[in-house]
Structure 1
Amino acid sequence: MSKHVPLSDAAPPSHLFQNVTFLVVWMGETISTLGGSFSTLASSWLAYQITGSVATMGNMLLIYFLPSLFMQLVIGPYIDRWNRRKVMVYSQWARGLVSLAPLLLLLNEQQVIWPLYLVSLVNGLIQPLYVPSSMAFLPTLVSKEQITSANACLDGTSRLMMVIGPPVGGFVVSAIGGEFTLVLVSIAYGFSGMLLFTCKTEHDVAIISTKKDSWSAQFIEGFDFFRQRPTLLWLGIFLSFVQFALGVTSVLNLPFVVNELHGKSFQYGLFIAGYPLGYFFGSLIAGRQKELKKRRLVMIGSLLFGGSTFVALAFTHNIWIAVTIELLAGVAGPFFHVHSNSFFQKIVPNNLLGRVLSVRLLIIRTAMPLGILLGSRFSEIWGVRPLFALIGVIVCFVSFLGLMLPYFRFLDIKKSIEAS
């Protein structure tokens, strides 16, 4: 059997921002996300400069996602054996180190694309380590009542950095070049790792396993825990449809703004910033919701609204209306995502959390590359607007079923969620 070994029995502070360790983690996550947005922009800029091909972007996304899915499949049981904080620290330092690869080639005057592919590959392999470790680490820092607020704070700040990052990163790239921007990214990841490294050890919970089960047995245990609880399973399935839609739009947004709306680079930046900015404001509201009286209406209803915004974009011909639609879609997003994450962290025992979250992330993240492939292959055949309408109808249909079918009433029943 597995057991928790806390290094201190002291209760977390009553107010979230009085928790010094949480603040350290929050600052580390904020710096990391800002650095990540810089990295994405700088890598994209360098890739286009080297190859002059838009298809390179799709290749970089697939190099990021496909190996990441394999890592997601195998890593879950190991996360429950390792110290989560140390996994987060070493992940940040590894990201920082690989971000220097393009600079080394610049110094050797070699203009080739593979270092950027290497950055995408390593980041993709690290993400399945970092995300479940971070989510499993959070419940050891805050009280059960603070988990929703903590998730909203971390998620909302992350989205805000996605708003700030592209314009600031674009200015930095224009000032010092993409290669040296990646040096700043390396410093950001390194500093984020240092912050996590200095977290007070009394809040660092080690998971000590006293049984020697095989990897397959532990993975099956996590999968069975996930599968046997309809609340957790269906929340993951609903979210996978959203990820599929986001995968499609990741390759549609640029041609939509430039070709369909005749926007310039500035308008494209505003359009991309619309969703994360709205998400930030939505998270401020979602984080204050302690108990949802009508969970199914609020959570699945937010997905229905999000799907309708894709349909709305298909019929939009004005850039400012499109930006407004993205902003409203972002406001609705946290009402599903924040509460869904909180349910997992409250329900799943901490000694199983890593492998259960890995199964959940595997289901969710498998949908993203499928969406990327659909958007990449069929946008030129069907057109951008029909694809926006198609994915919007799919998300709306699935969400409508979740709201209307009696089977999904368990999402409204507090006891069933807690029992699951």
Structure 2
Amino acid sequence: MQTFLFIWLGQIVSLFGSSLSEFALAVWVYQTTGSITHYALLSLFIHLPSLFISPFAGAMVDRWSRRRVMIVSDSITGVTAFAVMLLVFSGQLQVWHIYIAVGISSVCNAFQWPAYTSAIPQLVPVQHLSRANGMVQGAIATARILGPSIAGLLIIKIHLHGVLLVDFGTYLFGLLTLLSIKFPRREKKITRHKTSIEELWQEVVSGWNYVVIRSGLRKLTIFFGVIYLSAGVLQVLFLPMVLSFASEKELGIVMSVSGIGMLLGSVTVSLWGGTKRRIEGILIFAFIQGLCLCLGGFKTAVVLAAIGGFGYLFSRAVIVSLNHTIWQQKVPQDLQGRVFALQNMMEKSLLVITHLSAAPLVEFMFKPLMSENGMLASSVGRIIGVGDGRGMALLFVLMGLLNIGAVLVAYRTPELRRVERELPDADRFGVDNTESDNTAAC
């Protein structure tokens, strides 16, 4: 556990630096170009490279030392940050430089995240997995809360090049923590021979097959598709929905309260460890998430938006931590990189889909429906109101009801409800090849 705590400390510092530079670069792009399109393209470059490379990255993570993957990923990302910093100092930074830089960082993240997540069972006793996953979520929450606010102050005081210098320093700190310790040796010998594209693809497929042939894990994946979809809608529309009835200052309060919810949820899991049957905890807090989405869209009130955001992100920290623990216990160590990479790909895919579709959906469908003379003004409008922002509110309510419906269906699905009891804990270093071979042959 001590080794994990040391790595966790390095990663939380590195995450904080990434949050600083991501915010600062986004501000620079918008201020330099004045273009929403360029600003939106930055988000795509952050997500798309990781999305496309994730399946293959997971297979390679399972082949290599997780520690080495994390060291190489941190090194490349740090060098990239240093190169951008030099461009700023020389006055030659262009927008396309930033697109390339965040694209490289996105590729590195596709390797870093599954390596980090699948390394946790190597470093932490089984009984403390939920606590460790809660600490990881807490690190993410801390970076999200403190990063943008501190970056905003640093841009004024030390400008973009200063922020990038701080970011480079955080990468060095994270790298030094990894270099100064050793991971416990994996019992299964790591494959080191050269691999063809066909062999690598077969390894990617084997990770997918492991999930597909186990009904409980397959249905858990589908259930989390709904969770990730609602998270994508929240990420895209929560800010403009709140701004439709609140001031910028009130928005800042709502966002801060929501971020504190995720941090407290992470701390709660870290101290509590979660429910004995983790799937029950997931279903309970997913139901709460649905209620919070409905609450956030129910009325034009800052208090309700803050409570909804707090409850949603508090629940998300618990849900993600418990979900990771289930997969870490039910999937063999030498497949976890692939499985977590596939989950990352699914989450990023739904995030990109919501980024591309949520705004047009609201603009051309939900907004007209909830206008003062809209089709739903005299029915739904009497409950949640009509006019500016109420189309987004309606979508939030529908996503909340979708979450609640998914929980009810999940509870009525025995394979999912009993996934922890019916699926034995995996051999941490081996795979049941019989099932996988049979599946491949079908």
Q: Tell me what 2:200 maps to.
A: 215
Q: Tell me what 2:264 maps to.
A: 281
The answer to whether the 8 Å contact 1:309/1:326 transfers is: yes
Measure the CA separation in 1 of the matches of 2:302 and 2:165. 34
Q: Give the residue type in structure 1 aligned to 2:399.
A: I
Q: Tell me what 1:85 maps to.
A: 67
Q: Tell me what 1:225 maps to.
A: 210
Matches within 5 A, 1:125-144: 125-144=107-126
By how many angstroms is 1:216 displaced?
2.3
Note closer, same or farther for the CA distance 1:376–1:182 as it changes in structure 2 (3 Å cut): farther
Unaligned runs of 5+ in 1: 1-15
Note closer, same or farther for the CA distance 1:290–1:41 as it changes in structure 2 (3 Å cut): closer
The answer to whether the 8 Å contact 1:149/1:288 transfers is: yes
Matches within 5 A, 1:10-409: 16=1, 19=2, 21-110=3-92, 112-199=94-181, 201=182, 203=184, 205=186, 208-209=189-190, 214-258=199-243, 260-264=244-248, 266-290=249-273, 292-293=275-276, 295-381=278-364, 382=366, 383-406=391-414, 408-409=416-417
Cα-Cα RMSD: 2.5
Note closer, same or farther for the CA distance 1:356–1:216 as it changes in structure 2 (3 Å cut): same
By how many angstroms is 1:262 displaced?
2.6
By how many angstroms is 1:362 displaced?
2.2
Measure the CA separation in 1 of the matches of 2:279 and 2:36. 40
Provide, for residues 25-52 of structure 1, a one-character-per-residue CA deviation record: whole Å limited to 9, x for no partner.
0111110121121122101111111111
Note closer, same or farther for the CA distance 1:231–1:277 as it changes in structure 2 (3 Å cut): farther
The answer to whether the 8 Å contact 2:362/2:392 transfers is: yes
Q: Give the residue type in structure 1 aligned to 2:9.
A: M
Q: Which moved more, 1:105-114 or 1:189-198?
A: 105-114
Measure the CA separation in 2 of the matches of 1:171 and 1:293. 43
Q: Give the residue type in structure 2 aligned to 1:349.
A: P
Measure the CA separation in 2 of the matches of 1:51 and 1:379. 26
Measure the CA separation in 2 of the matches of 1:57 and 1:305. 33
The answer to whether the 8 Å contact 2:54/2:345 transfers is: yes
Q: Give the residue type in structure 2 aligned to 1:387.
A: L
TM-score by length of 2: 0.83
Identity %: 23
Which gives a bigger RCO, structure 1 or 2 (Cα 8 Å, sep 6+)? 1
Note closer, same or farther for the CA distance 1:386–1:90 as it changes in structure 2 (3 Å cut): same
By how many angstroms is 1:350 displaced?
1.1
By how many angstroms is 1:333 displaced?
1.9
The answer to whether the 8 Å contact 1:81/1:208 transfers is: no
Q: How many residues align?
A: 398
Provide, for residues 177-202 of structure 1, a one-character-per-residue CA deviation record: whole Å limited to 9, x for no partner.
23331221122112211111111x26
Higher Cα Rg, which structure: 2
Provide, for residues 264-317 of structure 1, a one-character-per-residue CA deviation record: whole Å limited to 9, x for no partner.
1x4333333333321222223323455735544421121121122222222232
Q: Give the residue type in structure 1 aligned to 2:269.
A: A
Note closer, same or farther for the CA distance 1:202–1:47 as it changes in structure 2 (3 Å cut): closer
By how many angstroms is 1:392 displaced?
2.4
Q: Tell me what 1:5 maps to.
A: none
Q: Give the residue type in structure 1 aligned to 2:421.
A: K
Q: What SS class does the counterpart of residue 208 from structure 1 fall into?
A: coil
Q: Which moved more, 1:26-35 or 1:330-339?
A: 330-339
Q: Give the residue type in structure 2 aligned to 1:354.
A: G
Note closer, same or farther for the CA distance 1:146–1:115 as it changes in structure 2 (3 Å cut): same
Q: Tell me what 1:8 maps to.
A: none
Q: Tell me what 1:3 maps to.
A: none
Q: Tell me what 2:425 maps to.
A: 418
Measure the CA separation in 2 of the matches of 1:218 and 1:194. 32
Q: Give the residue type in structure 2 aligned to 1:262.
A: A
Measure the CA separation in 1 of the matches of 2:274 and 2:81. 42
Measure the CA separation in 2 of the matches of 1:211 and 1:186. 31
The answer to whether the 8 Å contact 1:243/1:367 transfers is: yes
Q: Give the residue type in structure 1 aligned to 2:69.
A: V
Provide, for residues 209-228 of structure 1, a one-character-per-residue CA deviation record: whole Å limited to 9, x for no partner.
46977112222221111212
